[in-house]
Amino acid sequence: MTGTTALSRARTVRYTTIVVALAAIVTVSAVRIVTGADRLTTPGTLRQALIAACPILLAGLGGLWAERAGIVNIGLEGQMLLGTWGAAFFAYHHGWLAGIVGAAVMGLIGGLVHAIATVSFGVDHIISGVALNIIGLGAVGFLAKSYFDELSGGGPRNLSGYPTPPTLTIPGISDGARSLADQHWFVVSDVSAAVAGATTNLSILTILTLALALLTAWALWRTSFGLRLRSCGENPQAAETLGVNVYLYKYVAVLVSGAFAGLGGAYLTMVSSSSFTVGQTNGRGYIGLASMIFGNWRPSGVLTGALMFGYADGISLLPKNGPLVHALLLLVAVFLLAYSVFKFRAGELTTAIVVAVIALGALVWYFTTTRVPSAFTGMTPYVITLFVISVASQRLRMPAADGKPYRRGSAG
């Protein structure tokens, strides 16, 4: 009985997700046509968005691994930074594959420090993370100066001229989708632009990233290993009484977390750009954390968050993006209004009114200006996350023992 209810609820959720996703695509397309900002969904823009989304996704997945085992990993930023250096160093000397592995290992070392501090010594997770970020930035600055200064193509704070992973274009699909996208038809062109963007000059590392997202979802939710790992994040004492080696699982989770963040760093130095600079992450570790919270500690949610934030990030990197950002404002207003109606029907009057007021504000802003400074896209991920955690905090559920200290034998 309960089985069927759960099943039908899962089905309803899935249908709702599909309907919402379709509605979102239609809305984006409509906004594009109304505003005339065709560059909102060209293959080029969407490719840029995908490239911007991948490092955020990797950081977000890294955060997911750690937090599902009950360890808050604010140190993602530092681990990512270590990854940027590792990728550049190993790729320069031993090729792009070594670069990817090296970045993962550097991130893993950062994860190991975090794991020793938080798991073995029970240090506050936030403190350890903050310290790790300080160490990460210092270490990358120091290592760059020590190892890159004398290389050709290098400097005290940067390096270029190392091999990057190969890219591939899927011949038939890419061209066909591209010509459809150029028609600027309603919905059809937007979808084919996404297809074209995702099949043209696709980096191996992008494919690896998406594969890791699938792997994470499978490993954490479809295997007994994942069930045990998540039980350490929900109730470590109960897990201990069932014979789970909680320390081991927490260590594994944090190490994987660090490696993922390191790969995110590799993506930044090898795909998003072809050169390394100190401080290249520019807060993307934190955006990854934001995408994880936005995604309610679930892989599909992290993916959605990363794509959304990646789109905002990608747009802010495009040249002459003033009109695009302006068009996005209308999009945001429409979404907010829809959300307000949804809240109103759910009976949450106060929230509905607050959201509606914000939406109207965005509309007024849209109609009284012709361009919006691109600085505002840069902070979109943070504003959206702040908005989501403030408005939808009841719907968010983090692992029950997330961030709580745990000591072996505390189950009694």
Partner 1 sequence: MKRIAYSLAPPVVAVVFALAATCVVIAISGGSVGAFLSTIFSVPNDRILVNIVNQSSLLAISGFAAAIGFRMGLFNIGVEGQYIVGSCAAAFFGGSGLVPGPLNILATLVVAILAGAAYASIAGVLKVTRGVSEVISAIMLNYIALTMSGYLVQRYGVKAGYTYATNDLPPSSQPLGFAILPGANDVWALTVIAVAVAAGYWFLLARTRFGFDLRTTGASASAALASGIGVKKMVVVSMALSGGVAGLVWMPAYFGSVHRFGVPENFQAGLGFAGLAVALLGRNRVPGIILGAVLFAYLSGQSNELQRDGIAKQVVDITQGIVVLAVVVAYEIVRRRQSRAEREQVSEELAATPAAANEGEAR
Using CB under 8 A, list all residues that contact partner 1: 74, 113, 117, 121-124, 126-128, 130-147, 156, 283, 286, 289-290, 293, 373, 375-376, 378-379, 382-383, 385-386, 389-391, 393
SS3 (DSSP) at 277: strand
Shortest reach from residue 205's CB to partner 1, in Å: 26
Our CB check for partner 1 shows the closer of 117 and 181 to be 117
**DSSP state at residue 154:** B
Dihedral, 60, 64, 66, 69 alpha carbons, nearest 10: 180
Shortest reach from residue 288's CB to partner 1, in Å: 11
Shortest reach from residue 147's CB to partner 1, in Å: 7
**DSSP state at residue 406:** -
Our CB check for partner 1 shows the closer of 123 and 170 to be 123
372 CB-near residues (< 8 Å, 6+ apart): 322, 325, 326, 328, 329, 365
Shortest reach from residue 113's CB to partner 1, in Å: 7
Cβ-based neighbour number of residue 13 at 10 Å: 10
What is the CA angle 344-347-353, rounded to 5?
40
Exposed, middle or buried by CB within 10 Å (0-12, 13-18, 19+), for 3?
A: exposed
Shortest reach from residue 277's CB to partner 1, in Å: 14
Our CB check for partner 1 shows the closer of 176 and 283 to be 283
* b/e map 120-145, b = 16+ CB within 10 Å: eeebebeebbebbbebbbebbbebbe
Shortest reach from residue 160's CB to partner 1, in Å: 19
Our CB check for partner 1 shows the closer of 235 and 380 to be 380
Strand 167-168 and strand 275-277: pairing? unpaired
Shortest reach from residue 78's CB to partner 1, in Å: 8
Place of tokens 């100190």: 278
Our CB check for partner 1 shows the closer of 13 and 379 to be 379
Shortest reach from residue 290's CB to partner 1, in Å: 7
Our CB check for partner 1 shows the closer of 88 and 208 to be 88
Place of tokens 């695509």: 25
Dihedral angle sign, alpha carbons of residues 123, 127, 133, 135: negative
Our CB check for partner 1 shows the closer of 161 and 373 to be 373
172 CB-near residues (< 8 Å, 6+ apart): none
277 phi and psi angles, rounded to 5 deg: -135, 150
Place of tokens 């999009």: 331
> HEC states along 228-250?
HHHHHHHCHHHHHHCCCCHHHHH
Our CB check for partner 1 shows the closer of 46 and 113 to be 113
Our CB check for partner 1 shows the closer of 226 and 314 to be 314
Our CB check for partner 1 shows the closer of 139 and 213 to be 139
**DSSP state at residue 38:** G
Shortest reach from residue 138's CB to partner 1, in Å: 2
SS3 (DSSP) at 203: strand
State the Cα–Cα distance between residues 73 and 113, nearest whole angstrom.
Answer: 11
Shortest reach from residue 402's CB to partner 1, in Å: 10
CA distances from 78 to 53, 67, 198, 286, 373 (A): 19, 17, 29, 10, 29
Our CB check for partner 1 shows the closer of 24 and 398 to be 398
Shortest reach from residue 159's CB to partner 1, in Å: 14
